[in-house]
Amino acid sequence: MDFQERLKTLTEGAKYDVACTSSGVTRKGKRGMVGSAEACGICHSFTADGRCISLLKTLINNYCEYDCQYCVNRRSSDIPRASMQPHEVADLTMQFYRRNYIEGLFLSSAVIKNPDYTMEMLIKTLALLRGEYRFNGYIHVKAIPGSDEKLIQKLGQLADRMSINIELPSERSLTHLAPDKSKPAILAPMNYVKNGIIQNKEELKKFRNAAEFVPAGQSTQLIVGATPEADSRIVHLAQGLYKNYSLRRVFYSAYIPVGNETMLPAVPMPTFDTGTGLIHKEYGPLLMREHRLYQADFLLRFYGFTAGEMFKTEEENLSLHIDPKCHWALRNLEKFPVEVNTADYMTLLRVPGIGQISAERIVKARRVNKLNFENLKKMGIVLKRARYFITCNGKMAEKINFQPESIELRLTDNNAVGPYSQLTLSDVAIA
Amino acid sequence: MGDKLTKREVDVLFDGTFEGFLCVVYSFYYEGIVPLSIQTTDEYQPSITLTEYFIVTDNDRARKVEKAIVKKISQDIARRVAYAFLADAADRYMNMLYYIILGFKVGHMVDSHMQYDFVLRVHKLAREVGREGHKLTGFCRFAETAQGIYYCAITPVHYVLSILAEHFADRMIDQSWIIHDKRHNKAVVYNGHEYTFVEVSPDSKPPVMAGNEAFIQNLWATYFNTLAIEARKNPKLHRQMLPMRYRGNMVEFSKHI
């Protein structure tokens, strides 16, 4: 196989890992080295599915010992196999980086021989890139569950971010579909990295030249829709990970059948209709579910919400038709309407349709002026949803029937599962 | 400031540099020059209705105004003004002048005065410039020339070269590179130590590429095309995230494999 073919094969094996962020660490350029890092992250391109490309996301090899049912690289999968040498990975990274195609490297690997051996391969590649190639850009590396702590330590000193993917949201599903992995084998390294980061921060305070350890923090991925866990369980799990393991990000990946799975629910193989530009209508709702989970995740991280506020029971799912903040507001209508001229920042953030930028602008502008709806509009505050939940100087926007049913009806997004698909009468009749 | 000055209402001309614009602000306060309009000399079209007045650029005066903005208004606002100046919009100079005048009256609170259109306009222009500059730090595509210089062509709406120059001089610190703004016929040239801005003729020829350039570009296009997940394709979202106008200069959209 020539190099281009190998790159293609290994990228196929890596692309279902949705994380492609390059954020979390600022590092200036240095003479004699190549690269820098920006805390806000930089997107270098976007794939046809609208996802950001910021890193060269690839595998060292895809000859996997494991047989996880959801994974394209599993032992029993009938796919071409390939590998790249450490110097090939390093060379390609530099060639892409110098042309500004990428922000850095996201390196991962199938489990070859055993977790420790695989980790050593990853370490060897990153050490070459950081050492001989003098690479100072961003590196995200995926650690292998069940490997030795010393190797995690070594790897963490070469990378900016480390991820250990949980993939399946419950232990039961994990045992069932990923027999080679176990919950303790995943959580132990996560815990080690968490403590390592805390310890490293202390060291850096004392010794300015101490080696950094995973400065951009750790992240994980959960596959959604391959197993029966409800959104409530997933969001509670994410909350626990943020709290107990100080994760920077939890990524959610709508389960995409990768061919000849036997133990997984028969999700229809999605197809893309090039004529209409629509995805198979049965697949649309799953992508919307993933989108709603990201929205709920943002509520956890930036809006001061708890999982408990979003769900009444453990088996509840997020609404596909209405976003989680709207949904919460409709259930807690006694907290509204909120007066924009007096409500504090955190209260403004809870208004559907008002995000961080809008809330900041309101707080700034009302220092000198009483705000009315006209002012808000001119300032670029989107009132489509917010108008139902706010007052300006005690007045509501228009004659609004302040009843949950009435507001919900107006806010329901009829295209909630679109642009992918829309139900028609005949679909309902078949169901 | 300027109370005892005789005020003169004129159509102001300046040389188009940021320093020149700051001298317009200086003349307003120290010479009683009240602009009815502000234009650059190369955009200027003489007309009988104009009472044009040329303001000479003086670096000491410019520095004085710049320092005053930082000290009496804020560092943030100085940065916003600098960004708004890079916008390719004819109305920017007058709006910036009003914004600075209000800033000297109310200090850093100027940003709270969103009842004034010129405050919102300066915010908008600065935001657009910042956004385009940030996007292009990712979307710039360099190609290695036969001389070993990395060349990149862009066609931005705004004058973002200086933002990009600062970013890449830090990131590609030991590399020689050129970023060519084809829309505004300007370029920034970095020689591994420092960068300079130059004017480029609209009919300059593209440079000759290094031998392995096509091979690397093919690898990137292969990578790019493989990475998309067929089942998730979403052209509308794709256009939102990566508007068509950027794609013409990006190698992954010009290669079809």
The span from the CA of B182 to the CA of B204, in Å, is 10
Determine the pLDDT at residue B125: 98
Chain A contact for B193 (CB, 8 A cutoff): no
CB half-sphere exposure, A35, CA atoms < 13 A? 26
Tokens, residue A199: 């310890």
Determine the pLDDT at residue A423: 39
- Do A353 and A383 contact (CB within 8 A), yes or no? yes
Name the residue among B111, B219, B238 with its Cβ closest to that of A46.
B238
The span from the CA of A264 to the CA of A274, in Å, is 28
Which residues of chain A are in CATH 3.20.20 domains? 3-308
Chain A contact for B120 (CB, 8 A cutoff): yes
Mean pLDDT of A414-426: 42
Determine the pLDDT at residue B255: 59
pLDDT band at A260 (very low <50, low <70, confident <90, very high): low
Mean pLDDT of B149-162: 97
pLDDT of A279 strictly over 50: no
The span from the CA of A223 to the CA of B176, in Å, is 44
DSSP secondary structure letters along A227-247:
S---HHHHHHHHHHHHHHS--
- Do A239 and A210 contact (CB within 8 A), yes or no? no
pLDDT band at A263 (very low <50, low <70, confident <90, very high): low
pLDDT of A280 strictly over 60: no
- Do A139 and A97 contact (CB within 8 A), yes or no? no
The span from the CA of B127 to the CA of B121, in Å, is 10
The alpha carbon of residue B206 is apart from the nearest alpha carbon of chain A, in Å, by: 17
Report the predicted TM-score, pTM, of the whole model to 2 decimal places: 0.91
The span from the CA of A363 to the CA of A213, in Å, is 38
- C-beta atoms surrounding B244 within 10 Å: 9
The span from the CA of A241 to the CA of B174, in Å, is 41
User: Is B227 in Cβ contact with A15 (below 8 Å)?
Assistant: yes
Q: What percent of chain A has pLDDT over 90?
A: 71
CB half-sphere exposure, A256, CA atoms < 13 A? 22
pLDDT band at A353 (very low <50, low <70, confident <90, very high): very high
> What fold, for A3-308?
TIM Barrel (3.20.20)
Q: What residues contact residue A381 under an 8 Å CB cut-off, 6+ apart?
A: A354, A358, A361, A362
Q: What percent of chain B has pLDDT over 90?
A: 86
pLDDT band at A265 (very low <50, low <70, confident <90, very high): low
The span from the CA of A38 to the CA of A261, in Å, is 40
Among B167, B223, B224, B246, pick the best mutation site for testing chain A contact (most A Cβ within 10 A). B223
Determine the pLDDT at residue A425: 39
The alpha carbon of residue A99 is apart from the nearest alpha carbon of chain B, in Å, by: 4
The helix/strand/coil state of B231 is: helix
Angle subtended by helix axes A149-158 and A183-206, to nearest 10: 50
In this predicted complex, what is the ipTM? 0.93
Provide the mean pLDDT of chain B. Answer: 93
Mean pLDDT of A149-171: 94
The helix/strand/coil state of A218 is: strand
Pick the residue with more confidence: A264 or A193? A193
pLDDT of A10 strictly over 60: yes
Chain B residue numbers touching A98 (CB-CB < 8 A): 142, 144, 150, 172, 175
Determine the pLDDT at residue A17: 86
pLDDT band at A368 (very low <50, low <70, confident <90, very high): very high
* Helix%, strand%, coil% for chain B, nearest 5: 50, 15, 35
Chain A residue numbers touching B114 (CB-CB < 8 A): 361, 364-365, 369, 375, 378-379
CB pairs under 8 A between A and B: 162
DSSP secondary structure letters along A64-81:
-S---TT-TT-TT-----
The alpha carbon of residue B100 is apart from the nearest alpha carbon of chain A, in Å, by: 18
- Do A248 and A194 contact (CB within 8 A), yes or no? no
pLDDT of B256 strictly over 60: no
pLDDT band at A419 (very low <50, low <70, confident <90, very high): very low
Determine the pLDDT at residue A69: 87
Q: What percent of chain A has pLDDT over 70?
A: 90
Determine the pLDDT at residue B159: 97
Name the residue among A32, A52, A254 with its Cβ closest to that of B174.
A32
Name the residue among A28, A30, A50 with its Cβ closest to that of B238.
A50
User: Is A367 in Cβ contact with B109 (below 8 Å)?
Assistant: yes
Determine the pLDDT at residue A273: 46
Distances (CA, A) of A431 to A157, A423, A428: 54, 11, 5
